[in-house]
Amino acid sequence: MSSLSHVDPEIAELIKAEERRQADTVKLIASENYVSKAVLEATGTVLTNKYSEGYAGKRYYEGQQVIDQIETLAVERAKSLFGVAHANVQPYSGSPANLAVYLAFANPGDTVMGMGLPFGGHLTHGWSVSATGKWFSSVRYGVRRDTGRIDLDEVRALALEHRPKVIFCGGTAIPRTIDFPAFAEIAREVGAVLAADIAHIAGLVAGGAHPSPVGHADVITTTTHKTLRGPRGAMVMASSDEHAKALNKAVFPGLQGGPHNHTTAAIAVALREASTDEFKAYAHQVVANAKALAEELSSRGFSLVSGGTDNHLILIDLTSKGVGGKPAAQALDRAGLETNYNAVPFDQRKPFDPSGIRIGTPSVTSRGMGESEMRQIAAWMDEVVTALSKEDADHADTVIARVHAEVSELTGKYPTPGLD
**Residue 2 domain-assigned?**
no
Same domain, 133 and 206: yes
**pLDDT score for 420:** 67
Amino acid found at 214:
V
CA–CA gap between residue 397 and residue 130 (Å, rounded): 39
The residue out of 230, 252, 274 marking a domain boundary is 274
> Which phi and psi angles does 113 have, rounded to 5°?
-140, 140
Q: Enumerate the known binding-site residues.
A: 117, 121-123, 242
Same domain, 270 and 332: no
Judge if the upstream peptide bond of residue 9 is cis by omega within 30 degrees of 0: no
Query: For 138, how many CA atoms within 13 A lie in the half-sphere containing its CB?
Result: 24
Q: How many domains does the chain have?
A: 2
CA–CA gap between residue 210 and residue 223 (Å, rounded): 16
Query: In 107-225, which residue ranges form alpha helices assigned H by DSSP?
Result: 131-135, 152-162, 180-190, 202-206
Same domain, 105 and 202: yes
> pLDDT 10s per residue in the chain (420 long)?
789 999 999 999 999 999 999 999 999 999 999 999 999 999 999 999 999 999 999 999 999 999 999 999 999 999 999 999 999 999 999 999 999 999 999 999 999 999 999 999 999 999 999 999 999 999 999 999 999 999 999 999 999 999 999 999 999 999 999 999 999 999 999 999 999 999 999 999 999 999 999 999 999 999 999 999 999 999 999 999 999 999 999 999 999 999 999 999 999 999 999 999 999 999 999 999 999 999 999 999 999 999 999 999 999 999 999 999 999 999 999 999 999 999 999 999 998 999 999 999 999 999 999 999 999 999 999 999 999 999 899 999 999 999 999 999 999 999 999 986
**Residue 262 domain-assigned?**
yes
Report the 10 Å Cβ neighbour count for 175: 25
**pLDDT score for 28:** 98
Domain that holds residue 65: 41-274
CA–CA gap between residue 264 and residue 401 (Å, rounded): 42
CA–CA gap between residue 391 and residue 168 (Å, rounded): 42
Which residues neighbour 149 within 8 Å (Cβ) at sequence distance 6 or greater?
143, 176, 306
- pTM (2 decimals)? 0.96
**pLDDT score for 419:** 85
**Residue 338 domain-assigned?**
yes
**pLDDT score for 77:** 98
Catalytic residue numbers, as ranges: 51, 53, 197, 223, 226, 232
Q: Enumerate the known binding-site residues for (6S)-5,6,7,8-tetrahydrofolate.
A: 117, 121-123, 242
Same domain, 210 and 307: no
Same domain, 219 and 302: no
Look at residues 169, 172, 177 and name the one whose alpha carbon lies nearest to residue 115. Answer: 169
Look at residues 216, 214, 268, 221 and name the one whose alpha carbon lies nearest to residue 247. Answer: 221
- Does residue 282 contact residue 35 with C-beta atoms inside 8 Å? no
Same domain, 79 and 221: yes
Same domain, 268 and 309: no
CA–CA gap between residue 346 and residue 270 (Å, rounded): 37
Same domain, 94 and 202: yes
What's the CATH code of the domain at 87? 3.40.640.10
What's the CATH code of the domain at 361? 3.90.1150.10
